[in-house]
Amino acid sequence: MKQITILGSLNIDTTLKIDRFPLPGETVEAINKSSTAGGKGANQAVAAARLGAKTIFIGCVGRDSSGEYLIEALEEEGIDTANILHDEEAGTGTANILLDEAGQNSIVIYGGANRKLTSAQIQAAAGQIATSEFLVAQFETSTAMTLEAFKIAHQKGVKTILNPAPAHEIAPELLRVTDLIVPNEIESRLLTGIEITNQTSMEQTAAAFRKMGVNNLIITLGSRGVYYAGEDQSVLMPAFKVKAVDTTAAGDTFIGALAAKLNSDFSNLAEAIKFAQKASSITVQRLGAQVAIPTLAEIEEN
């Protein structure tokens, strides 16, 4: 069984369903409210585990009931939680999600304990990182700790996947130990300054990331599909046509599914992207984050 280590966030997601997003200064009434287990890292771990990978998680929660709930949710998926620590001061992370009738969302996160990862914690997980095929990380935790973990992976020949979300400036040193970067189109524009409108702008974006030091790029483009650019090929793969109900965990499902399916030498990349797209297309037809992520059996049935 493939082993994947995910370094990332654990949040309590509170979703407010609304008719439309409020204008600046405007108050709107929520149609419904719900709270579930979430966090980009945790969502990606659940996707990887449900789709057949042995999954190890590195993270941090508060010493509170929310933190215990999030750990239990991962353990129910068979995810190794031994590397999740409890911070005695910061509370467990939270995400507040506005979800409109079209299934689009806006999210505000509070990092809390997610920002309290330590170097000692990363070093304690070094052995498991070294025996993994992929190490995956996002930007809802400390980038300094991500860099330390990626360096360990790089030294051991373990492939690294970076999901630069929420997008912010990336240290060149981190990019040099990143094998594959997976932003969405908004994150890609924020990182490169290039708006993706056509094939030319996609190629310009790939060139910009290569200049930064990353040779393998996947951009998720929502209903337009997925663009991949590597050292010797580039391709735009169309999206599965479905009616989106909630896009909250779409990107996380894609990344977790991709890591679960992809060979470490990237030899089955097209197949892995299509598999991840199919998983994500199922997720967006359901409400919620982790509860919406499909199992391997569900993907095989569709």
Mean pLDDT of 161-173: 94
Residue 160 domain-assigned?
yes
In whole angstroms, what is the distance from residue 251 CA to residue 89 CA? 31
113 part of a folded domain: yes
Provide the pLDDT for residue 244: 86
Under the banding of pLDDT at 50, 70 and 90, the label for residue 102 is confident
> Binding site for K(+): which residues?
246, 248, 283, 286, 288
> Residue 287's pLDDT is what?
82
Which member of 80, 87, 179, 252 is catalytic? 252
Cα 272-277-281 angle, rounded to 5 deg: 150
Q: Evaluate if residue 188 carries a pLDDT over 80.
A: yes
CA distances from 263 to 41, 178, 239, 266 (A): 21, 16, 22, 5
252 is a catalytic site residue:
yes
DSSP 114: G
Is residue 12 assigned to a domain? yes
Q: What is the CATH number of the domain that holds 88?
A: 3.40.1190.20
**pLDDT at res. 293:** 96
Whether residue 103 contacts residue 222, with contact meaning beta carbons closer than 8 Å, is answered with: no
pTM of the model: 0.93
Residue 72: inside a domain: yes
Distance CA 14, CA 33 (A): 7
Q: What is the pLDDT of residue 141?
A: 96
Q: Between 156 and 246, whose confidence is greater? A: 156
Q: How far apart are CA 84 and CA 160, in angstroms?
A: 20
The average confidence (pLDDT) of the chain is 94
Residues contributing to the annotated binding site:
11-13, 39-43, 140, 184, 220-225, 246, 248, 251-252, 283, 286, 288
- Asked whether residue 1 carries a pLDDT value surpassing 90, the answer given is no
For residue 301, is it within any domain? no
* In a domain? residue 302: no
Burial of 88 from C-beta contacts in 10 A (0-12 / 13-18 / 19+): exposed
Query: Is residue 47 assigned to a domain?
Result: yes
**pLDDT for residue 185:** 94
Containing domain of residue 287, as a range?
3-21+30-296
Query: What is the distance of C-alpha 117 from the center of its chain?
Result: 18
Q: For residue 190, is it within any domain?
A: yes
Look at the chain and report how many structural domains it folds into: 1
For 38-65, what is each residue's pLDDT tens digit? 999 999 999 999 999 999 999 999 999 9
Percent of the chain with pLDDT over 90: 85
